[in-house]
Structure 1
Amino acid sequence: MSGRGRKAAPPPAGHRKEPPLASDGLTVTVTNKAGHTRVFDFAALKVASPMQRSLARAFAAQSRNWTSHRTAKACWDKLEQFAIFLAGLDNPPGDLDGLTVAALQSWRDQHIDTNTGRSRLAAVRAVLQRDPRLAAGPVADELARRVPAPTPSKQSYKESERDLVVLTAQRQFRAAWLRIGENTRLLNRWRAGELSKGSREWRIGKVLDHLARTGDVPRTVYPGGQKHVKNHRLLGGRDSEKTWGRLFLDHRELTALAVLLTDRFGWNLSQYDRMPVPTTGPSAGETRSRTYQVQVEKHRAGGGRWFSTENITDSGADSPGRLLTQALEATAPARVLAHSLASGPDLLMVARSHRPDKEHSNLDRPAQIGPLSFGVSDDMASWWAQVSGLSGSPFQRTRRTTVSGEGRPLQHSQGTHESRYVLPDKRVQRESRAVIEAGVYEALEQARSAVFGGTVTGGGPDPRHQETATADCKDEEASPWPAPEGGCAADFLLCLACPNAHVHPGHHSRLALLHEQVLSLRSVLEDRNFRERWSDHLARLDDLRDRVGPAAWAAALARVTDRDRFLVRLLVKEDLAP
């Protein structure tokens, strides 16, 4: 059954999925999730023909789980480097079964010290292990050696750095949102017949109607092919903001919107390429708020777990959903135009391209529809940072800042959250110092509370001390647990944690019996109850036994008196607790 409850349609009769490896054994076809194909020709590798065919077979086997050409191209580039390495050996192997441990060790030594190198080692190893001839033996053992994960090179922003990036993006996107909103309202008034015919606003509304239907303002085409904007005086200029930018975002403004979304929600850059328009659901008990259901794609989550839904509410100017409302308003004219030009999924992140005729080369990303492009590419992110006076694409660092500030996984697992985002991040490390320090002191106090806190003496009792059920007290008035009316409020078991306690050989028999009785409670009490009530007392008795010595402790059990048994029974029954 399909997700909506309809019976899934079977494939046509005779349907057969073509294998990725061609019959010539040298070309591998990788199909991405959009259905586009890309061919990789292993005949181009500078190794012997048998090696080319073996690498092609292993690459084809590895490609079965890939859904993007980008992944395939990254692996291909690494295999190409491996082939160049093999060709440079004194005795290049003719096939994979000719690989030697020495060659693989040399390959490893060249790459193990850098992030790029470790990534290359891991990718090549995964392909080579697909060959059954390398499943056992010394070469297999060498391939099985652990390759350390690349160290994250991006750090989260300092607060001042983040503020600069977000402020830059806010200025750009807000200006575009206001511009498009103003012109959209003017267009709606023109279409509703609310403007005086022939007035300046009416004439601009007519141009906007043409723009909304075609994606461009009216232009004059001269015999030489040059195009010039008609009505440029009416529009106030020829640049994009005065012409087609009146209804459409450009790439810079769309990238600014993506930066703001990443800062707010921690989404990956790749999320924006095929992000559907959020749907709107009812907000319980609310009449002035809107709750959006946003489909979030998790590219590395594995089959069946690629998508999740986040509910985001717009309940006011400072609410998270307000940015989504503005994004919907700013992209509405472009989405309407895209729907009129071609049927297909309604994608949120759409902009008007400065170069509508540019060839579509990245088949992992949606193709342009007329003058409209979708999503934000890596090149667009780097270009945005450059023209905005910032250093480097902001998306990885912005996402890292949001994730570390949120303190929980976003679009990734708990293990990835801790190993890739929390532990390596210097900002998190700085902010954690006070928490770690407090934890260390707390652990130290807990450790101190679980050991005997008094004094062990080898002589007899001191007549100046007051006898208790477990030890002699040096100064009851100086108790760490004073009673409101004066004196000590602690029970007699807690005497063993008090610095005023003095234990002499006369106490050993009673304490050894108490130790034995507390140990016996483990078998009759639930673990939780025992830990809460008796574990600290047992730890102090263990510590006291070590100080007295195991031999003396065992001998003391032979000297237990009836009085010792009576007091221990009261202690274990907690009849001597305050």
Structure 2
Amino acid sequence: MSRRGHRAGLPPADHRTDPPLRPDGLLVTVVNKAGYQKEFDFSELPVPEPMQRSLARLYAARSRAWTSHETAKTCWSRVMVFATFLSGLENTPEDLDGVTVAVLKRWRARHVSTVTGKAVLSTVRLLLQQDPRFAGGPVTEELLRRFPAAKPSKQSYEDDERRRVVLAAQRQFRVARLRIEENTRLLSAWRAGELEEGSEDWRLGEVLEHLARTGDVPRRILPSGQPYVDHRNLLGGAGPEHTWGRLFLSRPELTALAVLLTDRFAWNLKIYDRMPAPTVGPSVGEKASITYQVQVEKHRAGRGRWFSTENITDSGADSPGRLITQSLATTAPGRDLAARLAPGTDLLMVSRLYAPSRAAHRHQDTERPRPVGPLSFGISYDDAQRWQLAHDLGGSPFQRVRRTTVTREGHPRQHTQSTNERVYVLPDGNVQRASRSVFADGAEEALEQAEAAVFGGHLADAPDPAHEETVTADCEDESTSPWPAPEGGCGADFMLCLACKNAYVHPGHHPRLALLRQQLESLRSVLDDGTWDKRWQDHSLRLEDLRDKVGAAAWDAALARAGSDDQALVHLLLKGDLAS
């Protein structure tokens, strides 16, 4: 199925897919989702030719599942690291069957101590284990030997750090949004004929119409060959904010918008390259809010699961969908121009290039959409780096902003629950620090529960005539009960006597209490866990604690002495007929 939900057409009957490995056995071609080809020449590896051919064959076999040149380049660079390591050995193996346990041990020791090194080890291991020569034996065992998982190098932002990043993005995007909204309103008024012909606003509207159709304000070329902005005085200057910036976002401004979207929705940076403009979902008579359907591409989800749809509602200034509304309004002139220049183009994240002719010529990124006229799409890694340098942030904000949002919300975003816990939540320092008080409170609560479920009375060798006998113990003073009755005395259930400091248990009680414990365990097998835990668990734990204090041998011997009176009383206790 295509991402729009239509069944894909079958290829022609004579269609053939070219194998990724060329006949020479050294050149591998990888085709990405956009249909672009990229070649990887294994003759460049600094190892003997048989080794080059073996690695090329394994690489080609694995490349059939790839749809990204970024993945291909990452794997290629790590294979190069492995080949460079082999070439530095005293005796470089001719082929993979010359890789010994000792070689793999040295290879592992060189890389296992760093995050990047572990990534290299993992990639090369996945590649080599496809080869039949690593199907068993000591070398295979060494190859597959586990190593500690790498800890994520990025951490979520502290509150003040996040506030600084988001505030910088908000300020930059707000200036751009207000500028474009103001000029869009003026252009709409000009198109509707609402402006007095010949007035300053009318003449400015005429310039904006030219800008909307072509992507630039009118310019002429001076005798020196330099372009000159016409209507410079009318526009107020020749800088981007006075000329094409009146209707189009610059790349830094689009990057600021992407930072805000990441902070709100935890979207991955690569999503912005090909994100379609959100559409308005169906509404059942609802006029106060708008629900957008946003198509999100999940690059690592695997074939058939790349796309999902998120419903995001704009119900007011603080609602998540308000940022979507602002994004659509601010990028509308750019999306309209892109649709005219390349019909069918409707990507949300569009910006205007500073120098379209030079930028289009230099565009070598086969993973991102190519520019359309003066427009470009998405956010590159270079854009992120330049944005953080401009705002003195000390690093690209996208990974950390995304991690901050994921850990703040506590549920997965474009990834699985296990990935959420393993990669985002558990290794994060801020989560760990915030959890300490929770763990401490939980431990104290568990201790309180444990202390509440132990025998709270006293062991005695014989009955005391001054004590009052109850079903489960002898009571020293019911007037000081922890559970006083409204009319005076003790209002506790007889089962709670074992939790009271006034209780005394002597050997005469042991048979009945041993029988009671046995009957409680029998009830456990016929009641559901929730019911048994709520009604009987604490009593069972107290009896278990009492058994430990009395001694297992004496307790088991007492069970054998339980008589018919003990059985009748225990039966009444469990039925609730002896509540107090």
Q: Same fold (TM over 0.5)?
A: yes
**AA in 1 matched with 2:351:** A
Distance in 2 between residues matched to 1:3 and 1:249, nearest whole Å: 27
Distance of aligned partners of 1:421 and 1:6 in 2 relative to their CA distance in 1, 3 Å threshold: closer
**AA in 2 matched with 1:453:** G
Distance in 1 between residues matched to 2:8 and 2:236, nearest whole Å: 55
Distance in 2 between residues matched to 1:316 and 1:3, nearest whole Å: 30
Deviation at 1:121, TM superposition (A): 0.8
- Which of 386, 411, 416 is the aligned partner of 2:419? 416
Matches within 5 A, 1:374-385: 374-385=377-388
Matches within 5 A, 1:114-133: 114-133=114-133
User: Is 1:304 aligned with 2:319?
Assistant: no
Deviation at 1:206, TM superposition (A): 1.5
Matches within 5 A, 1:43-54: 43-54=43-54
Q: Give secondary structure in 2 for the equivalent of 1:431.
A: helix
Distance in 2 between residues matched to 1:188 and 1:452, nearest whole Å: 82
- Which of 517, 520, 533 is the aligned partner of 1:518? 520
| Bigger mean CA deviation after superposition, 4-13 or 237-246 | 4-13
**AA in 2 matched with 1:362:** D
**AA in 2 matched with 1:543:** D
What's 2:237 paired with?
Answer: 237
Deviation at 1:462, TM superposition (A): 2.0
- CA offset digits 1:340-364 (Å, max 9, x no partner): 1112341000000112122211111
Q: Give secondary structure in 2 for the equivalent of 1:228.
A: strand
Distance of aligned partners of 1:8 and 1:427 in 2 relative to their CA distance in 1, 3 Å threshold: closer
Deviation at 1:484, TM superposition (A): 2.2
- CA offset digits 1:439-460 (Å, max 9, x no partner): 1111112222332222223x10
**AA in 2 matched with 1:220:** R
Distance of aligned partners of 1:554 and 1:7 in 2 relative to their CA distance in 1, 3 Å threshold: closer
What's 1:62 paired with?
Answer: 62
Distance of aligned partners of 1:345 and 1:453 in 2 relative to their CA distance in 1, 3 Å threshold: farther
What's 2:392 paired with?
Answer: 389
Q: Give secondary structure in 2 for the equivalent of 1:197.
A: coil
Q: Give secondary structure in 2 for the equivalent of 1:294.
A: strand
Distance in 1 between residues matched to 2:378 and 2:574, nearest whole Å: 70
- Which of 534, 545, 549 is the aligned partner of 2:551? 549
Deviation at 1:2, TM superposition (A): 6.8
- CA offset digits 1:115-149 (Å, max 9, x no partner): 11111111111111111111211111011111322
What's 2:535 paired with?
Answer: 533
User: Is 1:398 aligned with 2:401?
Assistant: yes
Distance in 1 between residues matched to 2:46 and 2:306, nearest whole Å: 37
Deviation at 1:481, TM superposition (A): 2.2
Distance of aligned partners of 1:521 and 1:288 in 2 relative to their CA distance in 1, 3 Å threshold: closer
Q: Give secondary structure in 2 for the equivalent of 1:326.
A: helix
Distance of aligned partners of 1:36 and 1:7 in 2 relative to their CA distance in 1, 3 Å threshold: closer
**AA in 2 matched with 1:347:** L
**AA in 2 matched with 1:523:** S
Deviation at 1:271, TM superposition (A): 1.2
Matches within 5 A, 1:555-570: 555-570=557-572
Distance in 1 between residues matched to 2:128 and 2:429, nearest whole Å: 36
The answer to whether the 8 Å contact 1:115/1:150 transfers is yes
Distance of aligned partners of 1:128 and 1:4 in 2 relative to their CA distance in 1, 3 Å threshold: closer
Distance in 1 between residues matched to 2:79 and 2:309, nearest whole Å: 37
What's 1:360 paired with?
Answer: 363
Distance in 1 between residues matched to 2:9 and 2:152, nearest whole Å: 45
| Bigger mean CA deviation after superposition, 371-380 or 463-472 | 463-472
Matches within 5 A, 1:140-289: 140-222=140-222, 224-289=224-289
| Bigger mean CA deviation after superposition, 96-105 or 418-427 | 418-427
The answer to whether the 8 Å contact 1:313/1:319 transfers is yes
Matches within 5 A, 1:6-45: 8-45=8-45
Deviation at 1:322, TM superposition (A): 0.9
| Bigger mean CA deviation after superposition, 186-195 or 293-302 | 186-195
Distance in 2 between residues matched to 1:4 and 1:330, nearest whole Å: 25
Deviation at 1:536, TM superposition (A): 2.3
The answer to whether the 8 Å contact 2:459/2:506 transfers is yes
Distance of aligned partners of 1:202 and 1:285 in 2 relative to their CA distance in 1, 3 Å threshold: closer
Distance in 2 between residues matched to 1:157 and 1:3, nearest whole Å: 34
- CA offset digits 1:456-493 (Å, max 9, x no partner): 23x10122322111111223233222222222222111
Deviation at 1:530, TM superposition (A): 2.3
Q: CA RMSD in A?
A: 1.7
Deviation at 1:202, TM superposition (A): 1.8
What's 1:471 paired with?
Answer: 473
The answer to whether the 8 Å contact 1:121/1:147 transfers is no
Distance in 1 between residues matched to 2:202 and 2:488, nearest whole Å: 91
Distance of aligned partners of 1:507 and 1:346 in 2 relative to their CA distance in 1, 3 Å threshold: same
The answer to whether the 8 Å contact 1:351/1:374 transfers is yes
Deviation at 1:215, TM superposition (A): 0.8
Q: Give secondary structure in 1 for the equivalent of 2:309.
A: strand
Distance in 2 between residues matched to 1:475 and 1:36, nearest whole Å: 89
What's 1:571 paired with?
Answer: 573
What's 2:98 paired with?
Answer: 98
- CA offset digits 1:386-445 (Å, max 9, x no partner): 112222111111111111111111111111111111111122122222221111111112
Distance in 2 between residues matched to 1:344 and 1:106, nearest whole Å: 54
- CA offset digits 1:263-283 (Å, max 9, x no partner): 111111111111110010233
The answer to whether the 8 Å contact 2:334/2:352 transfers is yes
Distance in 1 between residues matched to 2:297 and 2:6, nearest whole Å: 24
Distance in 1 between residues matched to 2:25 and 2:403, nearest whole Å: 43
**AA in 2 matched with 1:503:** V
The answer to whether the 8 Å contact 2:3/2:307 transfers is no
What's 1:436 paired with?
Answer: 439
**AA in 1 matched with 2:483:** W
What's 1:509 paired with?
Answer: 511
Matches within 5 A, 1:439-454: 439-454=442-457
| Bigger mean CA deviation after superposition, 45-54 or 516-525 | 516-525
Q: Which runs of 5+ in 1 are unaligned?
A: none
The answer to whether the 8 Å contact 2:338/2:345 transfers is no
Q: Give secondary structure in 2 for the equivalent of 1:167.
A: helix
Distance in 2 between residues matched to 1:352 and 1:2, nearest whole Å: 29
